[in-house]
């Protein structure tokens, strides 16, 4: 469960970074 959470958090961070990069036209 702990491993799953760490993976989920890691993916969430990557997604946020990608989202910020992609939509940096604010």
Q: Which two tokens stand for residue 21?
A: 């990069």
Residue pLDDT tens, the chain, 26 long: 677 788 888 889 998 888 888 776 65
Query: What is the C-alpha separation between 12 and 3, in angstroms, rounded?
Result: 14
**Into how many domains does the chain fold?**
1
d(CA 7, CA 12): 8
Which residues constitute the domain of residue 26?
1-26
Q: Model pTM greater than 0.75?
A: no
């Amino acid at each position: 469960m702990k491993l799953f959470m760490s993976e989920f958090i890691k993916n969430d961070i990557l997604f946020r970074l990608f989202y910020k990069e992609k939509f940096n036209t604010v």
